[in-house]
Amino acid sequence: MKFFIDTANLEQIKEAQELGVLDGVTTNPSLMAKEGITGAENITAHYKAICDIVDGDVSAEVISTDFEGMVREGEALAALHPQIVVKIPMIRDGVKALKYFSDQGIKTNCTLVFSAGQALLAAKAGATYVSPFIGRLDDISTDGLQLIEEIRLIYDNYDFETEILAASVRHTMHVLECAKIGADVITGPLSSITGLLNHPLTDIGLEKFLADYRKGNG
Ligand code: E4P
């Protein structure tokens, strides 16, 4: 299972990278705005800075909603750095753009996916990644993890190569449940990854080991 971090914050990306378990980064326009990254030049420079920190794929989202615009923007984003994955919304022209980029050998991440039908379409169009938003489904009393199960079943039935990138992950239990289901990738805040570290028995056990060592060794 790959771990992506869902942020445009360079310090958090560095921290995750230094932990040694980071496989990539996802961003979106809201996350970029949260970091105060505005204007074409700054946005471009920021994507490059992220690629310089992390070894794996970095999703950069298009703003256009028409096919021509998405192609133009996506090609420019893909040309920025070999690690860039073009993030395309699950809309009619988005499906066309996914197919276009797939034919060009450009990696894509189909975003804003909330149903198994949308995930099936994304795979048919050749998306590299599909991003079902599990946290946002949970927010409206709909089981986000059940969607991951449905997509896993469908993709396995037909050996689709599109990777299931469980997005809108909010906490460690989302990560664990996605791992049990067999999602290929999760993307969430740094806390959803570092939270996996914690267990009180680890802390108590280490304290005891060190105390016993000090008794014998001063
Ligand atoms: C996915 O790529 C999105 O950036 C993200 O996971 C959305 O998460 P949120 O619902 O926590 O905003």
Mean pLDDT of 206-213: 98
The three-class DSSP label of residue 189 is coil
Give the whole-angstrom CA distance, residue 29 versus residue 7.
Answer: 10
Q: Could you give the number of structural domains in the chain?
A: 1
Choice among 2, 34, 48, 87 that is catalytic? 87
Mean pLDDT of 157-178: 98
In this prediction, residue 1 has a pLDDT band, given cuts at 50, 70 and 90, of very high
Nearest to 18 by CA among 56, 57, 54: 54
> What's the pTM value of the predicted model, to 2 decimals?
0.96
CATH number at residue 160: 3.20.20.70
- Asked if 189 and 212 touch (Cβ cutoff 8 Å), the reply is no
pLDDT tens digit sequence for 70-108: 999 999 999 999 999 999 999 999 999 999 999 999 999
Sign of the Cα torsion 43, 45, 51, 52 reads negative
Q: What share of the chain is helix, strand, coil (3-state, %, to 5)?
A: 55, 20, 25
Residue nearest ligand 1's atom 1 by CA: 167
Verify whether residue 87 is a known catalytic residue: yes
For residue 88, give its domain range: 2-217
- Asked if 98 and 106 touch (Cβ cutoff 8 Å), the reply is no
What residues contact residue 49 under an 8 Å CB cut-off, 6+ apart? Answer: 10
Is 128's C-beta closer than 6 angstroms to any atom of ligand 1? no
CA angle (124 as vertex; 103, 181 as ends), nearest 5: 120
